[in-house]
Amino acid sequence: MTSTVPISVPKKEFRVKFLDFIVLQFAVGWELIGQVIIMLFQTLRYIFTGQVDLEETVRQAYMIGVKSFIVVAITALFTGFAMSLQIARELVLFGADTAIGGVVSLALVREIGPIVSGVIVAGRVGSSIAAELTTMMITEQIDALKVMRIDPVQFLVVPRFVAAFCMMPVLSIYAMAVGLIAGIWIAQVAANVPPITFLDSVKQTILDRDFVVHFTKSWINATIVVMFSCAVGLHTRGGAEDVGIATTRTIVWTMTMIFVFNYVVTSLTYAPR
């Protein structure tokens, strides 16, 4: 009989120094924000000089917008169900059932529509862009573009930015419309409010400035998703593990910035009705 000698596997030490971790995160954050700002100016320069690949832009619009329709619809539908049910029950208790449509529509136009579409695109598209560009960096495809005198920002970032800038408002309006349909149905079932009364309250509540806020948030969300995902993807090097790290970092930063700028825009545009 032959005796087998067990093979000892070396263990990696895992130590986290809290202060060093905080300093590292701040350094990474400031560096990423700087990369995003520089890339945004480069992208806008190419757009204003007309150096946009229209065919690639249309393809990216399909990937970003059309392929997100179903998941945005499902998310907006059940968000509208939950929000409308809660609002309807509370307003009925105060005898303000005729105001259900106005409250629901105001929340959908100013907050829910842009946020739902922004979060869905950040999770579905932003992570995909970061993983794709990171893989291209690791496999030296980006270096090959530079050797051929092709700017990666013009070739990869500009079409995605233009596509997202065009499709994000469409997705936001789509999410708002689906949520409004859910609100009409819940108001009829839970509060016995006819659709005519619901829509009349919507007309009396929603103003033109609310749609300005809606589109402003949509365009900001599009900029955040594309710029952060591309910045992370184009500045990540390493191996397969770094693809997952880049994807996670993209989702965390894009969703955080979406909520931060949502509050900033809301606070700047708030005015008594």
User: Which residue has better confidence, 59 or 92?
Assistant: 59
Tokens of 50: 């007309």
**Angle value at C-alpha 70, between 68 and 72, nearest 5 degrees:** 65
Check the CA dihedral 223-225-228-230 and report its sign. negative
Q: Does residue 229 carry a pLDDT above 90?
A: yes
Note the pLDDT of residue 18: 64
- Write down the pTM of the prediction: 0.86
DSSP output for 130-169? HHHHHHHHHTTHHHHHHHTT--HIIIIIHHHHHHHHHHHH
Domain boundaries, the chain: 55-265
Q: How many residues does the chain have?
A: 273
Which stretches of 179-227 are assigned E, i.e. beta strand?
Answer: none
Q: Does residue 14 carry a pLDDT above 60?
A: no
Check the CA dihedral 265-269-271-273 and report its sign. negative
- Matching residue, tokens 């609002």: 87
149-196 tens-digit pLDDT: 989 999 999 999 999 999 999 999 999 999 999 999 998 888 888 899
The dihedral over CA atoms of 136, 142, 148, 149, expressed in degrees to the nearest 10, equals 150
Tokens of 43: 């992208």
Region 84-93 average pLDDT: 86
pLDDT confidence band for 239 (50 / 70 / 90): confident
Using alpha carbons, select from 160, 138, 171, 170 the residue that is nearest to residue 229: 160
